Amino acid sequence: MDYNTSRKSLVLPEYGRNIQKMVLHIKTVEDRDERNRLAKAIIQVMGNMNPHLRDVADFKHKLWDHLAIISDFELDVDSPYPTPLPEELNTAPDKLPYKNSREVRFKHYGRVLENMVKTSIDFPEGEEKKFLIEVICNQMKKSFLNWNRESVADDLIFSDFKFLTKDQVNIPEGLKLKEIKDLINKPPQDRSRDKDRRGGGSKGRSNPRHNPRNNPRAGKTKRY
């Protein structure tokens, strides 16, 4: 019996073993023109196996690259695209420059909000800067409430804002932040529950059949 465990491992399993056998066969063909003809035929079969990818950019280019990979980069044919190198296939991607999370002083505000606070330092003085400070402080209060929905004092938000700016930005005099109820969005079930309490929902409507005055049998005890 010919088991898969005794066969050569598949380089690209998504194309199956028959495609790999075809590629290994054309490597043994000595006539270059015949190899090119067979390689184009295999590319056609590989494309038919993935018709949903025909609209992808550089689809043909990917197929020729896969053909070279299956042949272990030993297939000598006239490819319309530059043949990839083995070292390019095994090259590790560049490391992403992740920033250290320790740089964030208040994690409940987040890095983006702290960057906004630092941006306000060099912002030119005027009404726009006052409006910017108000918007940032309200967003800080809203972010704070995501972790503590009980209460948050405006003085605490102003203190954190001045700490992040290293006292380089003054809070506008008389600035008052939004109320908690205006910053927190209630879930849909809470809004429907409030509607029922006000009598706007079906549960809050009175049913005349449930009114003892309209039901003559209400309040009577059953006698045996």
User: Do 19 and 84 belong together in one domain?
Assistant: yes
**Token code pair at residue 165:** 């700016």
3-state secondary structure of 94: coil
User: Do 43 and 112 belong together in one domain?
Assistant: no
Q: Which pLDDT tens digit goes with each residue over 95-128?
A: 877 666 567 788 888 888 888 998 899 899 999 9
User: Do 77 and 126 belong together in one domain?
Assistant: no
User: Do 179 and 132 belong together in one domain?
Assistant: yes
User: Do 150 and 116 belong together in one domain?
Assistant: yes
Side chain identity at residue 72, one-letter code: D
- What whole-number distance in Å separates Cα of residue 137 and Cα of residue 66? 54
Does any domain span residue 191?
Answer: no
Instruction: Tell me which DSSP letter residue 118 carries.
Output: H
Query: Which one of 56, 89, 122 terminates a domain?
Result: 89
150 or 41, higher pLDDT: 41
pLDDT (mean) for 64-92: 88
User: Do 125 and 73 belong together in one domain?
Assistant: no
Does any domain span residue 196?
Answer: no
pLDDT (mean) for 71-99: 84
User: Do 63 and 120 belong together in one domain?
Assistant: no
User: Do 22 and 79 belong together in one domain?
Assistant: yes
3-state secondary structure of 153: coil
Instruction: Report whether 163 contacts 155 (CB < 8 A).
Output: no
- What whole-number distance in Å separates Cα of residue 47 and Cα of residue 60? 8
Residues with Cβ < 8 Å from 74, sequence gap 6 or more? 27
3-state secondary structure of 150: coil
User: Do 141 and 174 belong together in one domain?
Assistant: yes
**Token code pair at residue 84:** 């990839």
The dihedrals phi and psi of 96, each to the nearest 5 degrees, come to -75, 140
Range of 107's domain? Answer: 103-185
Instruction: Report whether 105 contacts 162 (CB < 8 A).
Output: no
* Cβ contacts of 107-115, under 8 Å, gap ≥ 24: 108/143, 108/144, 108/146, 108/147, 109/140, 109/143, 109/144, 109/160, 110/143, 113/139, 113/140, 113/143, 114/164
Does any domain span residue 215?
Answer: no
Side chain identity at residue 23, one-letter code: V
The number of folded domains in the chain is 2
Does any domain span residue 83?
Answer: yes
User: Do 75 and 120 belong together in one domain?
Assistant: no
- What whole-number distance in Å separates Cα of residue 185 and Cα of residue 168? 33
Q: Which pLDDT tens digit goes with each residue over 190-208?
A: 555 555 555 554 444 445 5
User: Do 64 and 18 belong together in one domain?
Assistant: yes
Q: Which pLDDT tens digit goes with each residue over 126-181?
A: 999 999 999 999 999 998 988 877 778 899 999 999 999 988 989 988 898 988 88
User: Do 108 and 180 belong together in one domain?
Assistant: yes
